[in-house]
Amino acid sequence: MEQRECTLCEQACQGSTEKQGAGNAPEWRRDMILGALEAGGTKMVCAIGNENGEILEQISIPTETPEITMPKLLSFFKGKGIEALGIGCFGPIDVNRDSETYGYITTTPKLAWQNYNIVGTFKKELGVPVGFDTDVNGSALGEYTWGIAKGLHSCIYITIGTGVGVGVIVDGNLLHGMMHPEGGHILLSKLPNDTYEGFCPFHKNCMEGLAAGPAIEGRWGKKAIELADREDVWEMEATYIAQALVDYTVLVSPQRIILGGGVMHQTQLLPLVRAKFKELLNGYVKTKELEDLDSYIVVQSLDDKQGIMGALKLGMMELERQG
């Protein structure tokens, strides 16, 4: 069989030379049909795509109860000939394949979804392999496969939105461990001039409670987007983000840190984060990556499609695993 360069689907493309010459596609290309679901607390993004990360069709459905939402999701995916489904899911979730509740959404504050067997339901109804990971591990995977972390072996992806989540890839593997990282709840040093209590019900001074979108709104009394020209707001926000990034850097040693989520749409934030990060790390770690913080700390590169593209890849990986 002809050799080809395809690092993404080594197994899945075997035999693919049979179907040749479609449009401008390389000879070896065989478009797979894959389903992807980015399951969020407020909306479910569903897509059909292929092994190149191309999205062919996409819809968004509000997240209500499983009884209301699941039939809508299933009717989107059914009858489309998908070979696998990948799910990047809000958490916490059970990603331990040896566990009896593998594939369940577990202790989520979204009560209707607590202890819900999302993977089992899709497997039963669609009859295809179902890949499953956190939404942020999915986003990390999207950037690692097709985006700004392509070619690296270790990276982290952080979303700063309604909550804070951290996806981690180390040595080419999505990090799980005991369950999966919950890096949004890393504890930070509260700034002396910050009187805000934090909104996390578990911790007074975690990253999510102090730096997610609702924390900005709770502290300053206005939506983050309406505070764009307030220097003090973004100075404080950058300090909290930078504290977390220093911790992730010294612990996980990523080659690149990718920031996403609604709050990062404030473009003035990124340079402030880099400057604070430099100040707080204080020269302790010296690597070629850290010499250029403009390429070490970056924003997402896939136009906010990193999560759904990563979910495609999760489906592909599950297909290869089972194939």
**List of residues contacting ligand ADP (CB under 6 A):** 40, 42, 161-162, 213-214, 223-225, 261-263, 265-266
The site partner of 200 among ligand ADP, Zn ion, none (C-beta below 5 to 8 Å per kind) is: Zn ion
Q: Which is nearer to ligand ADP, 143 or 289 (CB)?
A: 143
Determine contact, residues 252/168, Cβ cutoff 8 Å.
yes
Nearer to Zn ion (CB atom), residue 82 or residue 164:
164
Q: Which partner, ligand ADP, Zn ion, none, binds residue 206 by CB below 5 to 8 Å per kind?
A: Zn ion
- Residue in 55, 82, 60, 56 with CA at minimum distance from that of residue 146: 55
Spatial separation of the C-alpha atoms in residues 145 and 84, rounded to whole Å:
18
Look at residues 308, 202, 212 and name the one whose alpha carbon lies nearest to residue 259: 212
Q: Is 190 in the site for Zn ion (CB under 5 A)?
A: no
* Residue count, binding to Zn ion (CB under 5 A): 5
Backbone angles phi, psi at 166, to 5 degrees: -130, 125
Of the candidates 206, 201, 271, 204, the residue with the CA atom closest to the CA atom of residue 240? 206
CB of 12 to ligand ADP, least distance (A): 30
Residue 214-233 contact track with Zn ion, rule CB under 5 A, x = bound: --------------------
- Residue in the shown chain whose Cβ atom is closest to ligand ADP: 213
Residue with smaller CB distance to ligand ADP, 108 or 162 = 162
CA–CA distance, 132 with 142 (Å, rounded to integer): 14
Whole-number Å distance between alpha carbons of 65 and 321 = 31
C-beta closer to ligand ADP: residue 8 or 299: 299
Of the candidates 72, 190, 203, 265, which one interacts with Zn ion according to CB under 5 A?
A: 203
Question: Judged by CB under 5 A, which stretch of 76-84, 161-169, 179-187, 214-222 contacts Zn ion?
Answer: 179-187
Number of other CB atoms surrounding residue 293 within 10 Å: 18
* Amino acid identity at 244: A
